[in-house]
Amino acid sequence: MTSRPSIWLALAASVTLAGMSHAQAPAVPTGDGNDPYLWLENIHGQKPLAWVEQQNEATAKRFADDAPFEKTRKQILEVLDSDEHIPYVSRMGGYLYNFWRDKAHPRGLWRRTTLAEFRKEKPHWDVLLDVDALNKAENKRWVFKGVQCLKPDYTRCLVSLSPDGGDAVAVREFDLPSRSFVKDGFVLPVAKSEVDWIDRDTLYVGTDFGPGSMTESSYPRIVKEWRRGTPLDQATVVYEGTPKDLAVGASHDDTTGFERDFVSVAKDFFHSQLFLRKDGKLQRVEVPEDATADAHREWLLVETRSPWTVGDTTYPSGALLVTRFDDFMAGKRQFEVLFRPDAHTSLASYSWTRHHLILDVLDDVKSRLEVLTPEAGGWKRAPMEGAPALSTVSVVDTDPDHSDEYWLGVTGFLTPSSLQYGVIGGAAPETLKREPAFFDASKFVVSQHFVASKDGTRVPYFEIAPKTMKLDGSNRTLLYGYGGFEVSLLPTYSGSIGRAWLDRGGVYVIANIRGGGEYGPAWHQAALKAKRLRAYEDFAAVAQDLVRRGITSPKHLGAEGGSNGGLLMGNMLTLYPQLFGAIACEVPLLDMKRYSHLSAGASWMAEYGDPDTSDWNFIRTFSPYQNVKPGMHYPPVLFYTATSDDRVGPVQARKMAAKMQGMGYRNVWFYENTEGGHGAGADNRQSAYMHALAYSFLWDQLH
């Protein structure tokens, strides 16, 4: 059990290379009485939606109404709909479970099979839930958002369904043997809920219980214990947080012999508290609030985010420590260091098997795995088989309750992803599934480069380019970045990027700027709050290095980013317009004076600061909506977003586009999809359209 609620984990995992409650904006002070575009914050208002429709029509006519766009869209959709994709699995008991979308099932199938079947080229899948059939039967547009199944028999599950692809979901109890929802079972209406099984007849529930029950960040403030057959409003309160907390949740660990219950309180994105719940009482797991704690069987793992002094020993930021859980709760503080970072390494993740711990370590943004084994004299470590050069290897799944099996995902920019299966102590892992090649990788080469940022910091970036590329500054080049929330951008195969950009002759570059997690917590903290401009200086340095090396020139250099990466794009637009020929700004934050009052914005103040305080003195330096000015030479820009995005929300992109157009900038484009939430696409067809729109805009403008 980690020290943050699963809602936090879902938020932190939301970034992809493709981009990344419909309550209207609350009545709060605007901070800018002269803002003429506040009316666009009425998300579902008739006038704003009419404006959106007009903008969509103009943008589609300009960039999505010709043969090249349609070719790109079809190529991307073929990738997304391919029957040859790897069906990634997770084990529950004797079955491997998978969620699958394809052309015939755009909203998807939840299904399962056995390991013996999975080894076959064409395994037989037992379909548990057909979301398209469910939508037809209920006249809905549900988007599948995952399941939680009750151990150890996994016959009852809680299925989460979003009405439009947003974070708010309906939760419904599902019976696997009958393949049906349980009549009079556990049901929660659409909300940003946090749930977990205690036993067959009891749940932990955090949800919208009514006025005052959600945090200012729009997540559960109260967690309750809810027994089957009783009204939700009669559930017993377990913990009640404050409105300023990010989210509150509770969980039950039913590992035989180590049954425990926990309450987790996320104070913000990077600070949390974990409590052991025993006999109705809470005991704090006394680790620093910015550390994460993970109780597993007899062990407690602690991952530090800042130096932690215990007795005479100071453990560094980014370290992984281990001790025995019961000893720690009794007051003992003897740790063994399982991972200690250095200037080139950080811990990406770790995974338990029954008898071992697998560490996923990044070494200058490239993966290597280690296996750690507890023994009488301490923890023994050994390397696992590595990944190909300039690639990413990650643990997809393990079976920590029963075995030492592991599933590895191996991927690289030019290496189609593969899924490997192995057992620690057994033979080398075997490749069970491999992604098809969606483009001819033999024409390209991957390289890693480093550039000094403005303050001298060494910043890495990856470049994927044609082998025949001429260093004459003429290459259309797309630079992608994120730089926030300690999220790392790693080498990953993308058939969509290969087809839509590389095959056209373009160069694709990923910048590993500060604010991310590529070098651990310190790399993230170097661009936090008042230091935010460091991330933008890093991105600008990469852009300038691409020009210096002859890869491209400003008129041929495009930039793309989504969510926090959309804020990055807004700052490239307003702070470094001379470096780029076009910018795609996707599901973005842009109005940093209002962001904390819009959608889930209050949850990110630990990252950016609080604009309603003196923090505004530094936030204003990276708030594109306030910094955009008339009479400048801004590059062409496309803003795209989704009406159903209940995380960042569509209003910031709306307002920025409208403001720039109002200043007389003609090459400002806007498109808003209705569904899809923060991902801007509820199914493959929508995703293909949105990605094709961005690539077509960029290719067109970078000629």
- The Cα–Cα gap between 537 and 520 comes to 19
Q: What is the pLDDT of residue 165?
A: 87
The reported pLDDT for the residue numbered 386 is 63
Is residue 607 in some structural domain? yes
pTM of the model as a whole? 0.91
Instruction: Tell me the average pLDDT across 345-360.
Output: 97
Report, in angstroms and rounded to the nearest whole number, the Rg of the chain calculated over CA atoms: 25
Question: What mean pLDDT comes out for the span 249-259?
Answer: 96
Q: What is the pLDDT of residue 29?
A: 37
What number is the average pLDDT over the span 287-316?
Answer: 97
User: Is 678 part of the annotated catalytic residue set?
Assistant: yes
Whether residue 306 has pLDDT greater than 60: yes
For residue 549, being part of any structural domain is answered with: yes
- Does any domain span residue 70? yes
Is residue 318 pLDDT above 70, yes or no? yes
Count of other CB atoms within 10 angstroms of residue 606: 18
In a domain, 526, yes or no: yes
Angstrom CA distances, 221 to 191, 194, 211, stand at: 13, 10, 11
Dihedral pair phi/psi, residue 633, rounded to 5°: -105, 80
Give CB contacts under 8 A, 24+ apart, made by 188-192: 188/232, 190/21, 190/162, 190/163, 191/21, 192/7, 192/21, 192/167, 192/168, 192/218, 192/219, 192/220, 192/646
Whole-number pLDDT of residue 678: 72
Dist. CA 371–CA 525, nearest whole Å: 29
Dump the DSSP string for 671-686. EEESSSGGGT-SSHHH
Could you tell me which residues come within 8 angstroms of residue 54 by beta carbon, excluding any fewer than 6 positions away? none
With a cut of 60, say whether residue 448 has pLDDT above it: yes
Check pLDDT > 80 for residue 334: yes
Asked if 432 and 118 count as a contact pair (C-beta separation under 8 A), the reply is yes
Q: Is the pLDDT of residue 670 over 80?
A: yes
Q: What is the pLDDT of residues 55-79, one digit of tens each?
A: 999 999 999 999 999 999 999 999 9
Angle between helices 684-701 and 46-63 (to 10 degrees): 60
Return the beta strands (E) in 86-130 as ranges. 90-92, 95-102, 105-113, 126-130
Q: Which residue has the tokens 């996923």?
A: 360
406 lies in some domain: no
Residue written as token pair 């498109």: 671
224 Cβ partners below 8 Å, 6+ apart?
204, 205, 206, 209, 235, 236, 237, 238
Using a pLDDT cut of 70, give the percent of the chain over it. Answer: 94
Token pair for residue 607?
A: 């990252």
How high is the pLDDT of residue 431? 95
pLDDT digits (tens, 9 = 90+) for 88-143: 999 999 999 999 999 999 999 999 999 999 999 999 999 999 999 999 999 999 99
pLDDT at 323 over 70: yes
- Structure confidence by residue, pLDDT tens digits, 159-217: 999 998 889 999 999 999 999 999 999 999 999 999 999 999 999 999 999 999 999 99
- How does 51-84 read in b/e, with b if 16+ C-beta sit within 10 Å? bbeebbeebeebbbeeeebeebbebbbbbbbeee
Residue 683 CA to its chain's centroid (Å): 17
Amino acid residing at 20: M
Q: What is the pLDDT of residue 390?
A: 75
For 221-290, strand residue ranges (E) read 222-227, 236-240, 247-253, 260-268, 271-278, 281-284
Structure tokens at 509: 């570059």
439-442: long-range pairs with CB below 8 Å, 24+:
439/495, 439/498, 439/499, 439/502, 439/503, 440/503, 441/414, 441/415, 441/498
3-state class (DSSP) for residue 530: helix
Task: Give domain status of residue 619, yes or no.
Answer: yes
% helix, strand, coil for the chain, step of 5: 25, 35, 40
What digits encode the pLDDT tens for the residues 1-50?
554 444 444 444 343 333 333 233 333 333 455 899 999 999 999 999 99
Averaged pLDDT for residues 333-349: 96
Query: Does residue 640 contact residue 584 with C-beta atoms inside 8 Å?
Result: yes
Minimum mean pLDDT range among 426-430, 619-623, 653-657: 426-430
Mean pLDDT of 500-520: 97
Residue 598, domain member (yes or no): yes
- Count CB-CB contacts under 10 A for residue 101: 19
What is the tens place of the pLDDT at every residue in 384-410? 876 677 789 999 999 999 999 999 999
Q: What burial letters (b/e) apply to 135-145, b meaning 16+ CB within 10 Å? A: beeeeebbbbb
CA gap 392, 372 in Å, rounded: 20
Q: What confidence tens digit (pLDDT) does each residue in 129-158 have? A: 999 999 999 999 999 999 999 999 999 999
pLDDT for 329 equals 98
**For residue 275, what are the contacts with CB-CB under 8 A and spacing of at least 6?**
239, 262, 263, 264, 265, 282, 283, 284, 285
User: Per the structure, how many domains does the chain have?
Assistant: 1
User: Could you tell me the CATH number of the domain that includes residue 579?
Assistant: 3.40.50.1820
C-alpha 513/C-alpha 536 separation (Å) is 8
Out of 3, 162, 346, 563, pick the active-site residue.
563
Measured CA to CA, the distance from residue 273 to residue 293 in angstroms comes to 9
- Could you tell me if residue 616 is inside a domain? yes
Q: Is 70 exceeded by the pLDDT of residue 680?
A: no
Q: How far apart are CA 155 and CA 432, in angstroms?
A: 27
Which residues have a Cβ under 8 Å from the Cβ of 548 and sit 6 or more positions away? none
Q: How far apart are CA 143 and CA 549, in angstroms?
A: 45
pLDDT digits (tens, 9 = 90+) for 631-662: 999 999 999 999 988 889 999 999 999 999 99
User: What per-residue confidence (pLDDT) applies to 21?
Assistant: 31
Which one of the listed residues 678, 687, 691, 696 is annotated catalytic? 678
Which range marks the domain in which residue 582 is found?
31-78+438-701
